[in-house]
A = this chain, B = another copy of it.
Amino acid sequence: MIVALSGGIGGAKLALGLSRVLPAGALTVIANVGDDFEHLGLAISPDIDTLTYTLAGLDNADLGWGRRDETWSFMDTLAAIGGETWFRLGDRDLALHVERTRRLARGETLSAITRDICRRLGASARILPVTDDAVRTRLKTSEGWMDFQPWFVGRRAEPAVSELVFAGAAAARPSPDVLAALAEAEAIVICPSNPFISIEPMLAVSGVEATLRASRAPVVAVSPIIGGRAVKGPTAKMMGELGMSSSARAVAERYDGLLNVYVADETDAGTLDGLGCRVVLAPTLMTTLTDKEALARVVLRAAAEAR
């Protein structure tokens, strides 16, 4: 059993690669819920949905987010009647949010709902929300404290970030499946996701980081930074704002002794000496499916060698 911790888009790419090179049933992906929010009365879980769509082959390659074969009638009409349109919800995507909201309201857990939807859509790995409790990433920015999505989508992550909190994380309990998966893991993979807004909200859930640190399974992280830049999203920008250099090395140091292996891009060779964990260099940019599978093989080989 391989367990991956993942945020949205970048992490989902590696998760897809892992799911394709591992035997069926061998991959569990623990998903961030710090990006989750209520919008238009709906419970929206962007990272879970991105993972679900990607692992079910339903992701929208043109947009880089959301669902394949999407239509936009809902959003067009919502605009016509004066609704809030800053967070775009496609017609197909909307069905997940409406159904999840309905099932949460009748007392089902996010884990159970996610499991059922993944099964119905044919996701190629198990996806576990890190917790069924509410964890909400909030950011102290140059414009004051902001909730995650109004900052990330509403303001395109532009306001400079000086501090993050994961409201609810200390009181949140990891789901029993999450703890069981981590206990059984032969390797734990930290996907190339944004450390501040994707990985750390999961580590902040009561007991998760301690479980990782106590695990006998090797922890293998993949750098989300290539040559000082993030492939997508605000990771590099945030590193600068938080007083770090925007480098692959700084991400590994941020994980502070948690890692057994760090997989970084070949272009960052020579910047990673003396990190205190094994470093593996590989092409980490995942454009094609072949790229994803190749990086997954590198990660699995490094994990096997570290056991």
* Complex Cα spacing A33 to B268, Å: 65
Chain B residue with the shortest CB-CB distance to A93: B77
Residues of B close to A76: CB separation below 8 A: 92
A117 within 8 A of B: yes
**Interface class of chain A by DSSP:** helix
Q: How many Å from the CB of A211 to the closest CB on chain B?
A: 31
A78 touches B90 (CB 8 A): no
Contact B73 A99 (CB under 8 A): no
Whether B91 contacts A78 by the Cβ 8 Å rule is: no
Contacts of A78 in B (CB 8 A): 95, 98-99
Interchain CB contact under 8 A, B82 and A120: yes
Known: A41-B98, A98-B40. A92 touches B105 (CB 8 A): no
Chain B residues whose C-beta falls within 8 Å of the C-beta of A120 in the assembled complex: 80-82
Determine the chain B residues whose CB is within 8 A of the CB of A41 once the complex forms: 41, 98, 101-102, 105
Quick one: which of B40, B73, B102, B105 contacts A83, CB cutoff 8 A?
Answer: B102
Contacts of A91 in B (CB 8 A): 71, 73-74, 77, 91, 94
A116 touches B82 (CB 8 A): yes
Please determine whether A96 and B82 come into contact, CB atoms closer than 8 angstroms.
no
Chain B contacts for A71, CB-based, 8 A: 71, 73, 91
Nearest CB of chain B from residue A67's CB, rounded to whole Å: 8
Q: Which chain B positions have C-beta within 8 A of A116?
A: 81-82
- Interface: A147 (CB within 8 A): no
Nearest neighbor of A69 in chain B, beta-carbon distance = B73
Q: Is the CB of A83 within 8 A of B98?
A: yes
Minimal beta-carbon separation of A56 from chain B (angstroms): 10
Residues from chain B with a CB closer than 8 A to the CB of A163 are none
CA A98 to CA B94, docked complex, whole Å: 11
The interface bits of chain A over 91-115 (1 if a CB of B lies within 8 angstroms of the residue's CB, else 0) are: 1101110110110010000000000
Contact in complex: A81, B121 (CB < 8 Å): yes
The reply to whether B102 and A77 contact each other, CB–CB distance below 8 Å, is no
Shortest C-beta distance, A294 to chain B (Å), equals 32
Q: How far is the CA of A124 from the CA of B41 in the complex (A)?
A: 30
Cβ–Cβ < 8 Å partners of A117 in chain B? 81-82
CB<8 Å pairs between A and B, sample of 30 = A40-B99, A40-B102, A41-B41, A41-B98, A41-B102, A41-B105, A70-B73, A71-B71, A73-B73, A73-B90, A73-B91, A73-B95, A74-B92, A74-B94, A74-B95, A74-B98, A75-B95, A77-B91, A77-B92, A78-B99, A80-B120, A81-B116, A81-B121, A82-B99, A82-B116, A82-B120, A83-B95, A83-B98, A83-B99, A83-B102
